[in-house]
Amino acid sequence: MLDARIVASFGDAPPDPPDFEILVDGRPDPEILDSNPRLRTLIIPYAGLPAGTRTLLRERPHLSAHNLHHNAGPAAELAMALLLAAAKRIVPLDRRLRAGDWRPRYEGHPALLLEGKRALVLGYGAIGRRVARMLGAFGMEVHALRRRGDGRDGGISLHGQDALRDLLPHSQVIALALPLTERTSGMIGEAELGLPPAGSVLVHLAPAQIVDERALSDALESGRLGAAGLDVWYRYPGEEERADTTPSELPFQDLENVVMSPHRGGAYRHPESERLRMEALARSLNAAARGEMIPHQVDPVEGY
């Protein structure tokens, strides 16, 4: 419920005269940002910072920007679903049993036992923290990379990003939940994918470009990486192409050790998605009305 002091308007065009203090828009028109001297706050109604919006904010340092992280719970749950499906090879075994083939039960089939293994979570924001706690519930030793460096959060060991190469050789599960910035783009390439132990599983819910496309395909095809659960991709369809577009120029769809998901981490079009979004937006607006700190401020210089 919105605080009684909040007056909200909706639509593609701003009210006339433009006298609002907060704008809710992920990709605002620069004219709207400049036409209102009272505007001080931009709320982006999802996680992340679009490149164009980042540029607008860097040119207007008087504006503060804030995300909504209503998708954190659904995204973390999907990460666990992808991890378990990939680690236990659920999809190829399901496919074979549907065809009447019971042989994997008697011949054995590759699978990763999670309990007692080490997991590495890249990114320790709203999604990464949930993923780390869930991995700990599986009995895993959990480490996480974050911007601020070393520390502990309960049973989770926290490290700065410089520790990546030291941690990968000991991590059987690697989960990506960090933003795309100049520093993270391409941070997982051929060298990094060659470091984890044999049979390791990668779960990717962050922007696809953080992992080199060719290096990931090669590592999975060769078996250097045991399996992957992927919710983010390198090619997305236009509206007319949604029924017939593979998500990469490379044949991920031909690999039995890949579980593929069509970018559903934010519960896209899920019945509860908009309710969660509106509840998160209400919390942010109420904080502003009460003079409290609006959560999830974005740094346009860092990009998240």
Residue-wise pLDDT tens for the chain (304 aa)?
Answer: 888 888 888 887 777 777 899 999 999 999 999 989 999 999 999 998 999 999 999 999 999 999 999 999 999 999 999 999 999 999 999 999 999 999 999 998 889 999 999 999 999 999 999 999 999 999 999 999 998 889 999 999 999 999 999 999 999 999 999 999 989 999 999 999 999 999 999 999 999 999 999 999 999 999 999 999 999 999 999 999 999 999 999 999 999 999 999 999 876 666 788 899 999 999 999 999 999 999 999 999 988 8
Q: Which of 179, 183, 199 is nearest to 87 (CA)?
A: 199
CA 86 to chain centre: 18
Residue 140 sits in a domain of what CATH number? 3.40.50.720
Same-domain status, 236 and 112: yes
Number of domains in the chain: 2
Amino acid 87 reads A
Burial of 73 (C-beta count, 10 Å sphere; 0-12/13-18/19+)? middle
Same-domain status, 79 and 65: no
Task: Record the tokens describing residue 304, joined without a space.
Answer: 């998240």
Same-domain status, 64 and 89: no
Give CA separation, 22 vs 46, 60, 71, 113, 243, in Å.
Answer: 16, 15, 22, 49, 39
What pLDDT does 149 receive?
Answer: 82
Q: Which residue matches tokens 């919710």? A: 231
Reduce the secondary structure of the chain to three states and give it as a string. CCCCCCCCCCCCCCCCCCCCCEEECCCCCHHHHHCCCCCCEEEECCCCCCHHHHHHHHCCCCCEEEECCCCHHHHHHHHHHHHHHHHCCHHHHHHHHHCCCCHHHHHCCCCCCCCCCEEEEECCCHHHHHHHHHHHHCCCEEEEECCCCCEEECCEEEECHHHHHHHHHHCCEEEECCCCCCCCCCCECHHHHCCCCCCCEEEECCCHHHECHHHHHHHHHHCCCCEEEECCCCCCCCHHHCCCCCCCCCCHHHCCCEEECCCCCCCCCCCCHHHHHHHHHHHHHHHHHCCCCCCCEECCCCCC
- Residue 2: inside a domain, yes or no? no
Same-domain status, 58 and 207: no
- Residue 14: inside a domain, yes or no? no
Hey, how many other C-beta atoms are within 10 angstroms of the C-beta on 228?
Answer: 26
- Residue 13: inside a domain, yes or no? no
| Dihedral pair phi/psi, residue 213, rounded to 5° | -60, -50
| Dihedral pair phi/psi, residue 243, rounded to 5° | -90, -5
Same-domain status, 153 and 293: no
127 with 177: CB under 8 angstroms? Answer: yes
- Residue 265: inside a domain, yes or no? no
Same-domain status, 55 and 189: no
Same-domain status, 163 and 238: yes
What pLDDT does 163 receive?
Answer: 97
Same-domain status, 94 and 147: yes
| Dihedral pair phi/psi, residue 221, rounded to 5° | -65, -35
Same-domain status, 99 and 139: yes
- Residue 151: inside a domain, yes or no? yes
Same-domain status, 181 and 121: yes
- Residue 102: inside a domain, yes or no? yes
What pLDDT does 268 receive?
Answer: 60
What pLDDT does 19 receive?
Answer: 83
- Residue 108: inside a domain, yes or no? yes
Same-domain status, 54 and 168: no
- Residue 303: inside a domain, yes or no? no
Same-domain status, 159 and 45: no
* Domain range enclosing 254: 72-260
92 with 99: CB under 8 angstroms? Answer: no
